[in-house]
Structure 1
Amino acid sequence: MTQRQMQIGEVAERTGLSLRTIRHYEEVGLVTPSARSKGGFRLYTESDVERLMVIRRMKPLDFSLEETRDLLEITDRLSATEPPPAADRERLRERLDAYRKVADARCEKLRAQLIAAEDFAATLRRQLDRQG
């Protein structure tokens, strides 16, 4: 069964990423279009869209391009049709778990920042109400 192929515009719309950003991710080797049309247009599959969404979700957590590349390599190797040997698989899972722990910690930090920001906004609203 062949996967439906999408041009970059549809992928940009589905992922919320700009065309420029998607092209940049291709240039730095994070994503590769699955094919090219006869006219040379990039063609992407659902798997490519999922990969771009992983990259997009890592961005707010301040993962570097190198960390993103490493994580994608880990997930690619773990989901390959030819699974890695058991010892390699265990090491890959440990590295993946390390990224999960970092992501969890960064999410917690963002939650604390959001609470502080919401508190500040509420302070401003109260100040305006008193002046009203």
Structure 2
Amino acid sequence: MSEGLVQIGEVAERLGLSLRTIRHYEEVGLVVPERTPGGFRLYSETDIGRLALVKRMKPLGFSLEEMRDLLVITDRLAAGDEDPSLVSRLQLFERAVADRAERLREQLAMAREFAEQLRRQRLQAAATSNAGR
């Protein structure tokens, strides 16, 4: 195996992704691992970083196209591309993540409030049934 490259199983274990998910991300072009002559996938640290970024974007509801766009931006910036539009596009993603995080905080607050309401109803029902004995 080439120096610094790891097989799909190790990538899956490190990132907490299934083999199927990693293969899917390859199929849609989000990551393109090297291949051994025998066809085994080998992932670089850059590939692993790309997969980690995709993993963070997925629960926030970003589309595959948005993920692909952000990966292009980060790749170009990492390669030293100084196109000012890259930074402004990155800022748009930064704002989108902040907005989505705020919506998730609001949903979490509602879920906690709902759970507390159910707990109070359960305790009240238990108290009522115990009082009737």
Task: Quote the Cα distance in structure 1 between the aligned partners of 2:88 and 2:16.
Answer: 31
Instruction: Label 1:3 to 1:113 Cα distance change in 2 as closer, same or farther (>3 A).
Output: farther
What count of residue pairs does the alignment treat as equivalent? 125
Alignment-derived partner of residue 71 in structure 2: 72
Instruction: Label 1:95 to 1:12 Cα distance change in 2 as closer, same or farther (>3 A).
Output: same
Match of 2:111 among 92, 117, 123: 117
Task: Quote the Cα distance in structure 2 between the aligned partners of 1:56 and 1:131.
Answer: 42
Aligned partners of 1:31 and 1:51 also within 8 Å: yes
Mapping of residues 15-94 of structure 1, within 5 Å: 15-33=15-33, 35-80=34-79, 83-84=80-81, 86=82, 88=83, 90-94=84-88
After superposition, the CA RMSD in angstroms is 1.3
- Kindly provide the CA deviation profile for residues 46-77 of structure 1, in whole angstroms up to 9, marking residues without a partner as x: 22111101001001111110010000000000
- Runs (4 or more) in structure 1 with deviation over 3 Å come to none
When the two structures are superposed, what TM-score results if normalisation uses the length of structure 2? Answer: 0.88
Name stretches of at least 5 consecutive residues in structure 2 with no aligned partner. Answer: 127-133
When the two structures are superposed, what TM-score results if normalisation uses the length of structure 1? Answer: 0.89
Identity of aligned residues (%): 58
1:13 aligns with 2:7: no
